[in-house]
Amino acid sequence: MSRILRRTTTMTKILYVTLSLCFALCACTETTGTLGVIENGEELSTRTATFDATTETDSLELTQLPYNGRFGYLGAITDPETGGLVQASFATQFVTQPDFMLPPESEMIKDADGVVCDSMELMLFVDEAYGDLNNVMKVEVYYMQKDQTKLNTLKGINFDEETVADLTEKIGGRVFSFLDHNYSDNELNSASHAHTIRIPINTSIGQRMLNQYYEHPEWYSDNGSFREHVFPGVYCRVKDSEGTMINVAVSALDVNFTYVENGKEIPGYIRFGGTSEVFQCTRISEPKSRKHLCEVEDTTYLKNPDGVITTITVPVDEIRDGHEGDSISMCTLTLQAYSKDDNAFDAPPQLLLVPKCLRYKFFTERWNTDDRYFYVTSFSSQYNAYVFTNISRLITGLKLLKAQGVYWEEDWKEGWKEEDWYKVDVIPVSTTSNTFTYTTINYDITPSSVCLVPGTESNPVKIQVVYSYFKR
C-alpha cells in the first residue's frame, strides 16, 4: 500500500516500556519462588500460572462511535483484502479573529455589485495519503448546515449527510490527483514540501463576504456570528471516484481581492482557518464486508475505519479461584498477528483494551487510560504482536463491573449475556501524549488491518499471571 511520509512532526511520540517476563510458564501448572523476607519472618513469595482466553471478531456500531481526532478524512479506497469500498467525507467550520480588518472600503476595487472578489479557494493541507497517489479523484464542496442544533445531535462517524451538509447547492469542486507533478519528484518527496489540495469556490460567495464586512463588521468579530451570518463551513465529499484517501491536518478558506494604495493596485487576501479545535467531523460509510469478517472462524480481525474489532473473553473466575488471599502482581496478554500480505493495509500502530460494556462510553466521554479498565499498547514489528504487559488490575475491575453494573446503559441491555461482563475489546486508536500521560485517545480512522491468531477452545490465547503471597 503506497503511502507518503509525514511532512511535519504532527504527533508526540508515544513512550512505552516493554517488560520481559523472567519466569518459565506452562499451562495449568504453577511454580513458586521467593522475593524476599519481611521483618516478622514471613517470606514474600510468588507463583505463576497460565490461563486460556478465547477471541472472536466483532464490529462497532459506527453510528455510536465518535471521532474526536485532529484530522479530517476525505476519499474512497478499496480494501485489498475484502474488496470492500471505504468512503470518507469531512466537514469543518472556520474561525475569524476579534481584530479582523480589511482595507478601507474606498480603497477596494469595485464593480456594479460592490467590492470585487478576484478568486476564492479552499485549501486542504494534507498530512498523509493512502492508496494510489497518482489516482484521479473528484471532490465536491457544499455548505455546512447553519442549524447548530442538528450538529449537536451527531454521535458517531456514520451519519446522514443532511445532518451536517446543505446539499441543495454545490459551492465548489475539483478533479485532482494527490501528487501534483508540476513539482519535481525531489520536491514532492521532500519532508518540507506541503502537500496541498486547492479547490476553487464560487467567487460570488467571496464577493458577498467582502461586501458583508463593510455592511456588518460585527459579524466578523466572533466565531458564532461569523458562522451564522457569513460562512457556516464546508462539507467535502468525493464523487464517482475511488483509489485514494487523504487525511487533512488543517484547512483554510482564502478570499482574494485587489485594493489601491498610493495609486498602486495591490493584491490582497483574507484567510480563515479550519481545524478540529473549531468544529470538524468525519463521515465513514459502512463497508458491506463487515458482516463477512465477523463470520470467519480461522482468524480474528482488526480493521479500520470499518469498525471491525476483536473481543476477548477473559477467564476472570478461573484466575481468582483458589487465589483469594494472593495478590496479582503481573498479568500479561499477548495477541499474535499473522504476517500481512504485501498489498494489505499496515497493522494498526496502537490498540486500546477496554471492557465491552464501556467501549462506546470511553470515546464519548473522552476517557483516558487508568491501569484498571483501560490500557493502550503498541504493535511490535519485531515480534509481530501486541503485548499488554500488565493488566493485573483489570481482573478485579471486571469483577467489580459485573457486581455493580454502575456504567450500564439501558440501550445496551438487549441481548446482553452473563458472560459478556468478562469480555474486553481491543480497538485501534490514535493517541497524543506528554511526558507523563496520554493527552488524547481517539478511535483511529486511518486505513489499517491485521489478522490475529484466534483464541479457540482447542488453541486458546494465553494469559500469563504472577501471584504474590506471604509464606510463613
Which among 308, 344, 337, 446 is positioned nearest to 81, based on CA atoms? 344
pLDDT, residue 40, reads 58
| 130 phi and psi angles, rounded to 5 deg | -135, 150
| 87 phi and psi angles, rounded to 5 deg | -120, 140
In sequence order, the β-bridge partners of residue 444 are: none
In sequence order, the β-bridge partners of residue 252 are: 273
* 351-389: b (≥16 Cβ within 10 Å) or e: bbbbbbbbbbbbbeeeeebeebbbbbbebeeeeebbbbb
Which among 293, 282, 318 is positioned nearest to 398, based on CA atoms? 318
In sequence order, the β-bridge partners of residue 427 are: 352
In the chain, count of helices (H) and strands (E)?
A: 9, 24
Q: What sign results for the dihedral spanned by CA atoms 180, 184, 189, 194? A: negative
Alpha-carbon distance 413 to 417, whole Å?
9
Which among 191, 243, 300 is positioned nearest to 2, based on CA atoms? 243
pLDDT digit string, tens, across residues 105-139: 999 999 999 999 999 999 999 999 999 989 999 99
Provide Rg for the chain, Cα atoms.
27
* DSSP symbol at 406: T
DSSP string, 26-68: -TT--EEEEEEE-TTS-EEEEEEEEEEEEEEEEE--TTT----
CA dihedral of residues 410, 367, 94, 133 (deg, nearest 10):
-100
Q: What is the pLDDT along the chain (472 residues), one digit of tens a residue?
A: 433 333 333 333 332 333 333 333 333 344 444 444 454 556 888 899 999 999 999 999 998 898 888 899 999 999 888 888 899 999 999 999 888 999 999 999 999 999 999 999 999 999 999 999 899 999 999 999 887 777 777 888 989 898 899 999 899 999 999 888 778 888 878 777 788 999 999 999 999 999 999 999 999 999 989 999 999 999 999 998 899 999 999 999 999 999 999 999 999 999 999 877 778 899 998 777 677 777 777 789 999 998 999 999 999 999 999 888 889 999 999 999 998 887 789 999 999 999 998 899 899 999 999 999 999 999 999 999 999 999 999 998 998 888 876 555 554 555 667 778 899 999 999 999 998 899 999 999 999 999 999 988 888 999 999 999 887 6
pLDDT, residue 406, reads 53
Alpha-carbon distance 154 to 420, whole Å?
28
SS3 of residue 345 by DSSP: coil
DSSP string, 297-343: SS-EEEEETTTEEEEEE--HHHHHTT-TT-EEEEEEEEEEBPPPPTT
pLDDT, residue 463, reads 95
pLDDT digit string, tens, across residues 373-418: 999 999 999 999 999 999 999 998 998 888 876 555 554 555 667 7
Mean pLDDT taken over the chain: 85
| 389 phi and psi angles, rounded to 5 deg | -75, -30
Give the length of the chain. Answer: 472
Check if the beta carbon of residue 287 is closer than 8 Å to that of residue 79. Answer: yes
Which among 283, 245, 279, 286 is positioned nearest to 74, based on CA atoms? 245
Which position has the grid cell 480481525? 301
pLDDT, residue 16, reads 32
Question: Could you tell me whether strands 110-111 and 196-200 are parallel, antiparallel, or unpaired per DSSP bridges?
Answer: unpaired
Question: Quick one: 40 exposed, middle or buried, by C-beta within 10 A (0-12, 13-18, 19+)?
Answer: exposed
Alpha-carbon distance 138 to 177, whole Å?
9
